[in-house]
Chain A
């Protein structure tokens, strides 16, 4: 196993905090046995620490991995054995909480859902996996971004049930068909994969972004909700749905398989034809 600083240098990357890192790596202690069938992967991570760095830098680590491992396991290996200061979010670790969205080999994915075998270089070549923070949100440290602008857009579309009628004694009745109508957009886990894959969002941070529209869709098309007009007005704004250029990046990025672009189109149509 190569220590981080050495491998970073060999990859001719920026090692501005290299001195510190050498000591850090050396103090990590023993590493776990390398499992049978493991291959060595170069994990190239976009690092940024406001305490040392004026701008982000790349750092590479050599990590033994099984093809069935997930990218999250690679990051854990780095954090546990090579550099304890590596910072990223993760919670449930199987694609439900939506905490570990990152740019993996240039596309937005949840690190807990990408398998190493799907990223291996062909023809027996050495594999390098690049990992960067999601784009369009301010980076706090390493892979950790400020999610507040994202949640602000979510809150702006009134993401809660609005019903002006009387509260039911028990439950509101909803037919299976009515419930099915918006099933797709209720799967959202607010991971930000879609919004931060959108080229419009990268350049126009004021754009609500796909995730907020998906969450508006979830209520606009809910038969129990009575505030479709209010939300459509919000999304008719200059920073609303009309910014969408239909590039489908969001749909490709969604780890839940939500037809994000289709949902945006449905909201656009509802605006054009004033019909939900």
Chain B
């Protein structure tokens, strides 16, 4: 232990995507000595893959837009299960975060008068997504990265040290959070991916910004980093996760060739006019408009097509329904035998826009299909199908400060839960990262400033963390981590996927137990120097624990809502809207296991409830809730 590398900071941010970088900037602006740790290289985080844009009610394209309309859309998209305070903060603050990003230097596509342009997207009533072609996430990360470089150069001029206030530690994985005897955060323990050496960071506040869990599923748009690390670290530290049963399957992932199955096809294709057709050349989405959305979505092609030029007087095309609806519809079409040759459906923009317009608006998609599938999207339809894309569930946090129930532990972005309810709208992720990244940075700073002493981890905690991390090198002949990972992905895909059944989920839980037992015996080859097999063995523990949360919560929720569809309980149940499922864990390392309990949802504040028509609330709330809310009798019209 004597040679353990140690660092000390005020605020430690784990994850260098949009939320992590924004949190780090905020903490540094609050005078905190801040460190960012990331598994990949700086600037390569999963946020770069966001294509469509960042949702903010700036009203640059349609001046009718306002935070209230954005709030309503977000709640509808999440089927009213959202943490309404988070949705409110998000809708109110997103425009400021986009403008702020612009002052950092971000590039945006512009309107004719030079303001930030906004595009249409599923579930958003007005054109709301600020964007840069279809590479918005890349620009967001680059702008934050550039901002950090500029702050570091400022510190260099002032203090003679680039990293005096803000330092990024790349290719470093955290395996444990450190806590003092009272359970307060004291830092984090991890290893350098390159050398395999251990490192400890002392810090009274940790912001988790580790993203999602998609690598537990076989067909996914997520990259290798998405192994639920932050979710699992939070659980093991004593924090709770909410909404883990809600996993978003993006309706349009590539389905062919096999090597690229799951890679995302941006929703902008549909926002810009692309339509979904089955093997009978029918625009099938008209058959899948659910009751709650009938007044907002066109039931015929003529009206749907008119909407693109006259949105105020026509209802939206059903291709732009929230993602959960579209994903289920595609799934049903394929099951009914009306799918495309490779098991998806057709997404066609070639018959909808001139070729040069497609190349201008969707350059990355044009490129992606040409290069990877040999398909020219200006001349042919694409083949697409659902792909695991986003987890709505995550660390339960205080909306205003992003604080979890563990003192000193904060979470922002995909790893936090509540904001998106049962289903996230496209474009609401990038704005979520900035709004709550900033709030987590501020919340963590305020917490640290309020401390009278720095919590210290007991020395044996470090020794235990080290033993646990080295366990995969012990023993011989155990399972290969890659094989175990594939088994896990298959289980989650087949048994806890887009359509769920009680028996299958029970089976999944048995299999997860068996996988855990195998994972305890997993053996890795080679040495500690950049050893991807060892890294995966450690990531597997996180994936297994988080998958258990997903399966257990999904089994308990006997209704269908957003990103949770039960074949045996196909309807939405207003009683269930009032309940959250909260996951906690007990035990250590690979032995940790999850427990799920019900918790009542906090009723929405009356002034927010008043933003909705009574007739709409009737679709989601129980009779008891409605009679209790006289103020909701007449909401502002939409």
Enumerate chain A interface residues (CB-CB to B < 8 A).
Answer: 24, 27-30, 35, 49-51, 66, 68-70, 73, 79-81, 84-87, 89-99, 113, 115, 140-141, 144, 147, 151, 155, 158-162, 167-168, 170-176, 179, 182-183, 186-187, 189-190, 219, 222, 224-225, 257
A84 to B484, CA, bound (A): 14
A161 to B144, CA, bound (A): 11
Task: Pick out which of these stretches binds chain A: B110-118, B323-331, B449-457.
Answer: B110-118
- A171 surroundings in chain B (CB, below 8 A): 98-99, 102-103, 108, 115-116
Q: Is B41 an interface residue, CB under 8 A from the partner?
A: yes
Q: Is B448 an interface residue, CB under 8 A from the partner?
A: no
A192 to chain B, nearest CB (A): 10
Given A30, A84, A96, A161, which contacts B138 in the complex, CB threshold below 8 Å? A96
Q: A50-B529, A66-B258 are in contact. Are A96 and B114 (CB under 8 A)?
A: no
A190 to B132, CA, bound (A): 18
Q: A84-B524, A84-B525 are in contact. Are A159 and B114 (CB under 8 A)?
A: no
Q: Identify 17 residue pairs between A and B in the complex whose beta-carbon atoms are under 8 Å apart, listed by A's number.
A: A27-B480, A49-B529, A80-B482, A84-B525, A85-B526, A85-B532, A92-B223, A93-B263, A96-B135, A140-B530, A161-B104, A172-B102, A173-B113, A173-B115, A183-B107, A189-B138, A222-B105
Q: B492-527 vs A: 1/0 string, CB under 8 Å?
A: 000000000000000000000000000000011111
Q: A29-B480, A96-B138 are in contact. Are A24 and B260 (CB under 8 A)?
A: no
Q: Is B371 an interface residue, CB under 8 A from the partner?
A: yes
- A98 and B527 contacting across the interface, CB-CB below 8 Å: no
- B102 surroundings in chain A (CB, below 8 A): 168, 171-172
Given A85, A141, A175, A189, which contacts B533 in the complex, CB threshold below 8 Å? A85
Q: Is B44 an interface residue, CB under 8 A from the partner?
A: yes
A257 to chain B, nearest CB (A): 8
Task: Pick out which of these stretches binds chain A: B146-154, B240-248, B581-589.
Answer: B146-154
- A187 surroundings in chain B (CB, below 8 A): 135
- B480 surroundings in chain A (CB, below 8 A): 27-29, 84
- B525 surroundings in chain A (CB, below 8 A): 24, 27, 84-85
A257 to B524, CA, bound (A): 40
- B44 and A99 contacting across the interface, CB-CB below 8 Å: yes
Given B48, B99, B257, which contacts A96 in the complex, CB threshold below 8 Å? B48
A4 to chain B, nearest CB (A): 12
Q: A80-B482, A91-B46 are in contact. Are A158 and B110 (CB under 8 A)?
A: no
Q: A35-B258, A173-B113 are in contact. Are A159 and B138 (CB under 8 A)?
A: no
A135 to chain B, nearest CB (A): 18
Given A73, A158, A176, which contacts B259 in the complex, CB threshold below 8 Å? A73
B422 to chain A, nearest CB (A): 27
Which residue of A has the minimal Cβ distance to B109? A179
Q: B332-376 vs A: 1/0 string, CB under 8 Å?
A: 000000000000000000000000000000001001100111100
Which residue of A has the minimal Cβ distance to B146? A160
- B103 and A172 contacting across the interface, CB-CB below 8 Å: yes
A45 to B203, CA, bound (A): 42
Q: Is B12 an interface residue, CB under 8 A from the partner?
A: no
Given B45, B103, B147, B483, which contacts A168 in the complex, CB threshold below 8 Å? B103
Q: Is B43 an interface residue, CB under 8 A from the partner?
A: yes
- A179 surroundings in chain B (CB, below 8 A): 107-110
- A84 and B44 contacting across the interface, CB-CB below 8 Å: no
- A92 and B194 contacting across the interface, CB-CB below 8 Å: no
- B42 and A144 contacting across the interface, CB-CB below 8 Å: no
Which residue of B has the minimal Cβ distance to A171? B102
B146 to chain A, nearest CB (A): 4
- A174 surroundings in chain B (CB, below 8 A): 110, 114
Q: A29-B483, A68-B258, A171-B116 are in contact. Are A94 and B263 (CB under 8 A)?
A: yes
Q: Is B559 an interface residue, CB under 8 A from the partner?
A: no
A79 to B480, CA, bound (A): 11
Given B44, B104, B146, B149, which contacts A97 in the complex, CB threshold below 8 Å? B44
- B364 surroundings in chain A (CB, below 8 A): 96
- A87 and B114 contacting across the interface, CB-CB below 8 Å: no
Which residue of B has the minimal Cβ distance to A50? B529
- B40 surroundings in chain A (CB, below 8 A): 89, 91, 97, 99
- B58 surroundings in chain A (CB, below 8 A): 170
Q: Is B319 an interface residue, CB under 8 A from the partner?
A: no
- A79 and B482 contacting across the interface, CB-CB below 8 Å: yes
- A84 and B526 contacting across the interface, CB-CB below 8 Å: yes
- B532 and A90 contacting across the interface, CB-CB below 8 Å: no
- A92 and B49 contacting across the interface, CB-CB below 8 Å: yes
B388 to chain A, nearest CB (A): 14
A162 to B146, CA, bound (A): 11
Q: Is B432 an interface residue, CB under 8 A from the partner?
A: no
- B258 and A94 contacting across the interface, CB-CB below 8 Å: no
- B105 surroundings in chain A (CB, below 8 A): 160-161, 219, 222, 224-225
Which residues of B in the span 84-108 have a Cβ within 8 Å of any Cβ on A?
A: 98-99, 102-105, 107-108
Q: Is B548 an interface residue, CB under 8 A from the partner?
A: no
